[in-house]
Amino acid sequence: MNRTWRRLAGRHVADVATAAVVALLVGYAIVDPPGPSPSWPAWSAWPVAAVLGLPVALRRHRPRVMLAWACAAGVLFTVTGAVAAGAIWLSFTPAVLVLYVVATTASAVWSAAGLAACALVATSAILVFYDRVLPGLAPAVTPSEMPPYWPIEIGVTGVLLAVAWAAGTVVRWKRDTTARLVHHLAEAAVTDERRRIARELHDVIGHSMSLIAVKATVANHVADDRPEEVRAALAVIERTSRSTLAEIHRVLGLLRSEGDPREAPAPVPGMADLPELAAHARSAGVEVELSVREEGAPPAGVALSVYRIVQQALTNVVTHAGPTRCAVTVEIDGRAAVIEVVDDGSRHGVPPRADHGRSGGHGLIGMRERARMYGGTFGAGPRPEGGFRVAARLPYDPNGTPE
């Protein structure tokens, strides 16, 4: 929010400064024109210049209204003889600057209509000035000054308007293209992450179904001789089937693809692999303090998501802030898994890269999707005292179903 406010304030200051420069140029041209002096008194040059320059200062707030103001003011002062003969095009410079903003924000049809209207009224005003106003003005005091010539006035004004419109249209097209590309990349990242989650859950479900099949076979063979083993096998089957059905339910709710079935099954990491993640980060120069508190083992899917979130968070610390200090806290209380990864920022005083905290980053998208799969919450962003914080909460019940 502060960064956005500073950017908007900076643009406003730049617009005010530009408006002041334009007003000074217009006022000086009226006071000392290249052609005959205007019929208005000399002191009126600066109020006229202020009225012409004001739309430039306000062009980002109401671009279309300011464009109409700039064109109308230019036409009014031209046909009434308040502008500088031989430099009338300066009076339409504010309209040029406002038209650029209109072209960057409005549709191509609307901005083209604004271009055509400004060019038409400016041309008409210049012709009226040279036909009716200029003949009544006193000749220039210095014969060497450039004589007024209406084709040059119209040509310069038209070229400036066209260039401003073309530049603004290109900027708007690039912004729209970039926005579409960012949206496409974000969707692709979500799709890729969901496919990875589907492959991981495929391994978990395959393992669970294999265990169920083995226990069912054992129970069937010892049903008559050892009934206590049958009850134990049925208890395992009950717990495993509940957890597996919960995972299938989540997959059906989030994923459309089952991934590539030709890929070889891979070991599923979990809570026991967190110390290895910390060791890898330490080898990259990050001082990791790992704290894991478990009150009962979480379901396999929850443990996997915890592992992946911690893995991606540590990867971001190594990539964007290392070497630094990082604290990883994981708490499992039988109802939810709470993860928090906090780093102190770079020790070299180098600010984090722009994509470290960007909401569209693929790593953050993946972590957010994993938390959402369990109906949990996820948050990531810079800390006021420096560094970065990643936090996630994955609720579940002992059977592995979401809260």
Asked if 211 contacts 244 with a C-beta cutoff of 8 angstroms, the reply is no
C-alpha distance across the termini of the chain, in Å: 33
- The percent of residues above 70 in pLDDT, for the chain, comes to 76
Confidence class for position 34, pLDDT limits 50, 70, 90: confident
**pLDDT score recorded for residue 221:** 74
Residue 86 DSSP SS3: coil
pLDDT at site 263: 44
pLDDT value of position 130: 87
Higher pLDDT, 210 or 26: 26
pLDDT number for residue 171: 93
Asked whether residue 207 carries a pLDDT value surpassing 70, the answer given is no
What confidence category does residue 357 fall into, taking pLDDT thresholds of 50, 70 and 90? very low
> Full-prediction pTM beyond 0.95?
no
The whole-number pLDDT of residue 140 equals 62
Query: Strand (E) positions, 61-160?
Result: none
Please name which of 179, 198, 187 lies closest in space to residue 365, comparing C-alpha atoms. Answer: 187
Per-residue pLDDT, averaged over 388-392, amounts to 92
DSSP state of 255: -
pLDDT of 402 reads 52
User: Could you give the CA distance from residue 386 to residue 285 in angstroms, rounded to a whole number?
Assistant: 18
pLDDT at residue number 12: 80
* Burial degree of 348 (CB within 10 A; 0-12, 13-18, 19+): exposed
Sheet holding 388-395, edge to edge: 287-294, 325-332, 336-343, 388-395, 377-382
Mean of the pLDDT values across residues 200-228? 66
Q: What is the mean pLDDT of residues 168-177?
A: 92
Which amino acid, residue 22?
V
Per-residue pLDDT tens for 239-285?
Answer: 767 766 766 665 566 554 444 444 444 456 788 889 888 887 776 66
Strand partners, 329: 291, 340
pLDDT tens digit sequence for 286-344: 788 999 998 878 888 888 889 888 888 887 887 776 678 899 999 998 888 999 999 98
DSSP secondary structure of 183-232: HHHHHHHHHHHHHHHHHHHHHHHHHHHHHHHHHHHHHHHSTTT-HHHHHH
pLDDT of residue 47 exceeding 60: yes
| Structural domains present in the chain | 2-183 (no CATH), 191-254 (1.20.5), 271-395 (3.30.565.10)
Which of these, 128, 166, 165, 134, lies nearest to 148 by C-alpha position?
A: 134
